[in-house]
Structure 1
Amino acid sequence: MDENNSMNKKRFEMPDTYVILFLVLVATAIATYFVPAGAYERETVDGVERVISGTFASADQNPVGFMDVFLALQTGMIDSAGLIFLVLFAGGMFEVVERSGAITGGIMSAVDRMRGREFMLIAVISVLFALGGATGAVANSVIPFVAIGVMLARALKLDAIVAVSITFGATFIGFAAGFLNPYTVGIAHSIAELPLFSGMLFRIISFIVLVGVTIWYTWLYARRIMKDPSRSLMGILEDEGDEMEMEKPPFTLRHKLILSWVALALAFFVFAVIQFDWTTNHMAAFFIVIGLVSGIIAGMNYNTLTLTFLEGCKNLVYGALIIGVARAVLVVMEQAAILDTLVQALSVPIGVLPPVLAAIGMFIANTLFNFFVPSGSGQAAIIMPIQTPLADMVGVTRQVAVQAYQFGDGFSNSIFPTSGPLMASLAVAGVPWIKWAKWLLPLFLIWSIIAMTILAIGVMINWGPL
């Protein structure tokens, strides 16, 4: 009887991100009855509203009621509509490009061209996925591509850890640098009232350093296995003969035109942001244009193109609506006038630190927070409204504050077991999380040291919008 009871006991299941955010929302609503209300004076400088340090004063208490909690969800969705549709339309566009076969064909073409040059092959595949992560083209959608990494690792007599590293790992280190990522830097810039995708040159330099180190670390491990297969943490993947000769996807002229069009379109968008002051709304609309033209080049008829675009939107509904739920937390804090109180409380321990250490403290705080909210867009919506005025007060530029958030969110996605894409990618490759964490931990520490150095430099050069 006892055995049956223990068998029937449910194993602990990590709450979904939406559950966590709703609990945070409820906790915030309860806190409005106990946390003193207060506000800073603000000033507008060059069109940007900033907190004036040292002006915090108490305000009348205004706790929220039961219905206010659910009204905040509605208000959060409305307030975040621009960002929500940016994410949805990005998903639609990338689904059209992926469904055309251009991405898979391009990767497999690179594999064929680099046979016999193992380092170059690992480097090229890693850079392609890192660029996909940096531009938001590949994030959660990297999961099916891990199977391609497994195929490549098998051909090179390597193990499944290498397969995950050159696909998932490369994608998310690119995601962390994210110089053109609408889901992280785009949302964070919008909240921090910075020009969209500003500071790109410094982020591209960070991207090159981080991706270069990741490729170097992966190659050292791969070369060690090539010399002595017994040093693999997993055991090498055996060549399955005929299975390796399966029909490979073609890389046609259409595929090349699609990828060229997407690259040129994204480059033009960067130009338009600088030259014409394009905003998040422009980018959302431009994603529709990119998707439509890509579908036409791919030869899709109007029904197929429409349904494919909508399928991509549907795939990102989970990630898009989370922005509105996270925004609801901010709505409650603003309504009850406790947001500035929390900023004041955070500024006490961080405010006594020099700006460099304050920036590093923001990075560490974001890393820890991502364990509970493993969503780049969701974390931006929660953290940046608090981190932005805090940065103003402690002498850290908003651009540095955005980067501290990006690094904290991006790196931890590659190691925390609460990251859905990580666990799914490991499942596809058959890699236990413990072995992956053991392999990644030294690299994670290297990433963190580089991140702290970059943030310190950003503070010292007063890294601003440009």
Structure 2
Amino acid sequence: MKDSNLKRWKLEMPDTYVILFIVLLLAAAATYFVPAGSFEREVVDGVERVVPNTYSKAENDGTGFMDLFLALQNGMVESGGIIFLVLFAGGAFEIVERSGAIKGGIMRAVAKTQGKEFWLIVIISVLFALGGAVGAVANSVIPFVAIGLIIARALRLDALIAVAITFGATFAGFNVGFLNPYTVGIAQTIAEVPIFSGMLLRVIVFVIIVGVTILYTWLYAKKILNDPTKSLVGILDMQTNENSEEALQEPFTTRHKLILLFVGLALLFFVYATIKFSWSINHMAAFFIVIGIGSGILAGMNYNKITLTFLEGCKNLVYGALIIGVARAILIVMENAHILDTFVYAIALPLENLPPILAAIGMFVANMALNFLVPSGSGQAMIAMPILTPLADMLGLTRQVAVQAFQFGDGLTNSIFPTSGTLMACLAVAGVPYVKWAKWMLPLFLIWVVISIIVLCIAVLINWGPV
């Protein structure tokens, strides 16, 4: 019996938290042998920038036992805004889902697209990709994975598809970010390039990358539809008491339509306010409370029902939300030991003697590596762009090319690096093991990399400027 339990323990896949804790331990170990150093920083127009050519050695304090666990605590505190955004969004969507509006609407769409599952996947994927491209949906995609699960279940597909058409599509759009103020906008501002310039080429690349992503997702979905045993994680069962044909007749009432209309308009305003009023994460989290209350009233719930349902939705996403804080703890360990800038310096140094095309590709690869350490797009922009900008000038590259090398490097790896709190949270919500996702995602990730390299080569050859 003991041997049987031991064998089962050895074969069991590590939990998401276990994977991240292993990475945290590796980061802590690195603080004892990686030299400490730092760049000087300056604040310009409210943005902290690294001052190029100012790297110098610093004192290195290795991470102690309690420091390791304090990093977990501080990671939760520092990520509080994002964590509560996830929880409150989960609460709001729990109310909407309990009203039956989402299920009724999706079942109606599924019923009308029977035999046309491809177009349902296309429509959902494009919407999320646009959300990622304009910066409206990134970390906030986590609660939407629950909706993806409903769609995947209705189509007799698996949880991988649920993540692919929500998180995957969002970051396919985020890869290019043609109107993303948090990545391209900040990077262009630091590089002193007109904000959102170069949009035409970026829109073309957006269409290509999103199109390839949808095709890749559909080919996998089609394989499952033809043979459910081909699923990497097992298909989802319809959660109804009746058969699937009766489930497709789920009522879709006028009240349901009003709730979905309210939520749709609220989310559009959400996007507008994010860009127009520069809403912070705290504003976004608070706004989901408004959405939850408004949806509950339209659903005919009383105040106790609204409150308890909202809290139930929060509870369902606690597992996924806290992962964000664990991912942040990894960065805190490196920042406290002053080894983060050392990694940045080591990545930038070899690029100085490369020809333009190879230098552009090198910037891209370097930013992919950097994103393992700094999964925040805006944070990475503030660290990398002050180094890449003068480097681009020295190597004869346009600053627009440097911006896009950063954007590709930051964007692509969000979909595969386990240090991405958003990725790990989405997988947790869907119940998809990281190893299974990595197996599915790796071929698509490599296709994205090839497309990115081709685009950067073209950009260098045409001397892509601010237009």
Question: When the two structures are superposed, what TM-score results if normalisation uses the length of structure 2?
Answer: 0.71
Query: SS at 2:450's partner residue?
Result: helix
Query: Quick one: distance in 2 between partners of 1:68 and 1:335?
Result: 9
Question: CA contact under 8 A between 1:265 and 1:290: conserved in structure 2?
Answer: yes
After superposition, give the CA deviation of every residue in 1:241-291 in whole Å (9 maximum; x if it has no partner). x94532421222222222222222222122222322221111111111112
2:169 matched to which residue of 1?
A: 174
Change (3 A) 1:294 1:22: same
Match status 1:245 vs 2:245: yes
After superposition, give the CA deviation of every residue in 1:336-372 in whole Å (9 maximum; x if it has no partner). 22221222122234565555313531575489x6xxx
What residue ranges of structure 2 are gaps of 5+ in the alignment?
Answer: 132-136, 236-241, 390-400
Please report the RMSD computed on the Cα atoms of aligned residues, expressed in angstroms: 4.7
Match status 1:292 vs 2:257: no
Query: Quick one: distance in 2 between partners of 1:7 and 1:332?
Result: 35
2:387 counterpart letter in structure 1: M
Change (3 A) 1:408 1:322: same
1:122 matched to which residue of 2?
A: 118
Which of the numbers 140, 145, 152 marks the counterpart of 2:151? 145
Question: CA contact under 8 A between 1:177 and 1:204: conserved in structure 2?
Answer: no
Match status 1:394 vs 2:388: yes
Range that drifts further, 389-398 or 74-83? 389-398
Match status 1:380 vs 2:375: yes
2:77 counterpart letter in structure 1: I
How much has 1:5 moved relative to structure 2?
Answer: 4.3
2:411 counterpart letter in structure 1: Q
Question: CA contact under 8 A between 1:110 and 1:125: conserved in structure 2?
Answer: no
How much has 1:40 moved relative to structure 2?
Answer: 0.6
How much has 1:422 moved relative to structure 2?
Answer: 6.9
Question: CA contact under 8 A between 1:258 and 1:298: conserved in structure 2?
Answer: yes
Question: When the two structures are superposed, what TM-score results if normalisation uses the length of structure 1?
Answer: 0.71
1:14 matched to which residue of 2?
A: 13
1:33 matched to which residue of 2?
A: 32
Change (3 A) 1:103 1:252: same
Change (3 A) 1:412 1:39: closer
Question: CA contact under 8 A between 2:87 and 2:317: conserved in structure 1?
Answer: yes
Query: Quick one: distance in 2 between partners of 1:280 and 1:463?
Result: 30
Once the two structures are superposed, the pairs formed by residues 86-165 of structure 1 within 5 Å of their partners are 86-115=85-114, 118-119=115-116, 121-128=117-124, 131=127, 134=131, 135=137, 136=141, 138-139=144-145, 142-150=148-156
Question: CA contact under 8 A between 1:363 and 1:407: conserved in structure 2?
Answer: no
After superposition, give the CA deviation of every residue in 1:127-162 in whole Å (9 maximum; x if it has no partner). 225535754252255334322111xxxxxxxxx6xx
How much has 1:167 moved relative to structure 2?
Answer: 4.7
Question: CA contact under 8 A between 1:86 and 1:284: conserved in structure 2?
Answer: yes
Query: Quick one: distance in 1 between partners of 2:429 and 2:407?
Result: 28
Question: CA contact under 8 A between 1:359 and 1:455: conserved in structure 2?
Answer: no
1:314 matched to which residue of 2?
A: 315
How much has 1:300 moved relative to structure 2?
Answer: 2.0
Match status 1:408 vs 2:408: no
Query: Quick one: distance in 2 between partners of 1:282 and 1:190?
Result: 20
2:260 matched to which residue of 1?
A: 259
Query: Quick one: distance in 2 between partners of 1:189 and 1:284?
Result: 24
1:280 matched to which residue of 2?
A: 281
Change (3 A) 1:218 1:80: closer
1:24 counterpart letter in structure 2: V
Q: What is the total number of aligned residue pairs between the two structures? A: 416
1:78 matched to which residue of 2?
A: 77
2:392 matched to which residue of 1?
A: none
Change (3 A) 1:402 1:441: closer
1:149 counterpart letter in structure 2: L
After superposition, give the CA deviation of every residue in 1:194-227 in whole Å (9 maximum; x if it has no partner). 99xx96978876665444334455667899999x
Change (3 A) 1:384 1:333: farther
How much has 1:26 moved relative to structure 2?
Answer: 3.1
1:90 counterpart letter in structure 2: A
1:131 counterpart letter in structure 2: L
- Identity within the alignment, %: 46
After superposition, give the CA deviation of every residue in 1:3-54 in whole Å (9 maximum; x if it has no partner). 9947852333332232233333333333333322211111222221111111
Change (3 A) 1:346 1:285: same
How much has 1:57 moved relative to structure 2?
Answer: 0.7
Change (3 A) 1:186 1:165: farther
Query: Quick one: distance in 1 between partners of 2:317 and 2:184?
Result: 20
After superposition, give the CA deviation of every residue in 1:61-82 in whole Å (9 maximum; x if it has no partner). 3334322222222222222222
Query: SS at 2:308's partner residue?
Result: helix
How much has 1:103 moved relative to structure 2?
Answer: 2.2
